[in-house]
Structure 1
């Protein structure tokens, strides 16, 4: 049984990883800035040791990591900015090195090591480089686009009107993964440390075009859904970062060996997009979107 600290434990990737590790019988320290949140309470109910930790408070990181065997590390620029994500990610790596942890698994982004020019990929790659130089045993897992984003925000708003609005051509392939599969793969890596040390692995669960995604969403929601290509200029007017990401998706693309991952790591239980879409409570989501 390992004692594993999980950052972002109340978020999508960290939460999925914490749940997978708890289900496998490990001790999980769920690190969060808000130990009193409903998400933290839910993890506590599953058996997690919820601890306060703030990337900008080194003492809190030191206390949270003391005595742990391993760390699952996730960072985000959303809600702050790229510079903050990079600074906080490096601080977390430094704290892990100071605690002499036996393994750090950092979740980055697929292709972040390929000079994409996408700002929130570049920040993650800067943290990857810091991790490699820190002298702590490491693995980097790098997921593709999140299926979970299709059940929230402006995508969900469009689906209520029968439109899958997405800034890519209808026939352009896109690799996807749900948070649950990221968590399952991260848990696998943490439990099989020696097999994954020093490796960087892009991960994806399925590959579909926006047209096929719209069709699958139509089947899952029980209403007709058509893809509508959103102009990149529209995205750029709201976020240069996201516009750069979608431009990369549509030109270079996130090529990941989905079949190879399914063959080599079947225990992850990889979900197809249709699997994921069928599991969502669309009536409740639509009611929430219209509220």
Structure 2
């Protein structure tokens, strides 16, 4: 798994390649990338992950690439919690755009599943998600989990652009194209993972009351 945040995409690629080179002797490598990173999205932190994927493919060891969709755990970081304390949930996404979502728990569970069946998954790239909801539906789930009002508001993309051009590119992609991960097929084909619905995930969290 790699990230450019806290550094930059070039540093992410360099570190990712270094890690792969260091892992040449292992039996099977599972790399966590991002959903649609192999589709020429133009999103900087998707493109950097795809460059690492390409290096992995030429490494000469068995590999599997997982492409997680939008992280449910992003709702627990401070910038999101700050809004929830004020009863707000904001994203620069239209109200009718479905977002495919996954918690870190399910990414880890699927990676473990892959590593117990390396021959079955060798050479495969699989986009993964646990649920699919619109932003108003996410807000409703947060209301049920917190027992407090939450109102969704669409954030202007210019606000995100001022903070991060990379994230702004990602949200433009979500708005204009979207992530088409087949949640139903994943649930059918890999029930062992125990895919969590967003409502279940949210109900298990401890949320701010202020």
Per the shorter chain, which TM-score range?
A: over 0.9
CA distance in 1, matches of 2:115, 2:157: 38
CA distance in 2, matches of 1:178, 1:274: 11
Q: Does 2:57 correspond to 1:163?
A: no
Q: What SS is found at the alignment partner of 1:150?
A: helix
User: Which residue in the other structure is 2:17 paired with?
Assistant: 90
2:158 to 211, 217, 233: 233
Please list the CA deviations of residues 109-136 of structure 1 after superposition, one character each: whole Å capped at 9, or x if unmatched. 0000000000000000000000001111
Please list the CA deviations of residues 224-253 of structure 1 after superposition, one character each: whole Å capped at 9, or x if unmatched. 111010000110011000000001011100
In the TM superposition, residue 93 of structure 1 has moved relative to its aligned partner by 1.0
CA distance in 2, matches of 1:260, 1:174: 16
CA distance in 1, matches of 2:28, 2:108: 16
Highest relative contact order (Cα 8 Å, sep 6+), 1 or 2? 2
User: Which residue in the other structure is 2:112 paired with?
Assistant: 187
Please list the CA deviations of residues 121-160 of structure 1 after superposition, one character each: whole Å capped at 9, or x if unmatched. 0000000000001111110011001001111222111111
1:217 to 142, 147, 151: 142
Please list the CA deviations of residues 148-175 of structure 1 after superposition, one character each: whole Å capped at 9, or x if unmatched. 1111222111111111111111111000
- Give 1:28-39 correspondences, 5 Å limit: none
Q: What SS is found at the alignment partner of 1:228?
A: strand
Kindly report the root-mean-square deviation, in angstroms, between the aligned alpha carbons of the 2 structures: 0.9
Q: Does 2:126 correspond to 1:201?
A: yes
The alignment's TM-score, normalised by the length of structure 2, stands at: 0.98
User: Which residue in the other structure is 1:53 paired with?
Assistant: none
- Give 1:3-152 correspondences, 5 Å limit: 74-97=1-24, 100-152=25-77
User: Which residue in the other structure is 1:268 paired with?
Assistant: 193
The count of aligned residue pairs is: 210
The answer for unaligned runs of 5 or more in structure 2 is: none
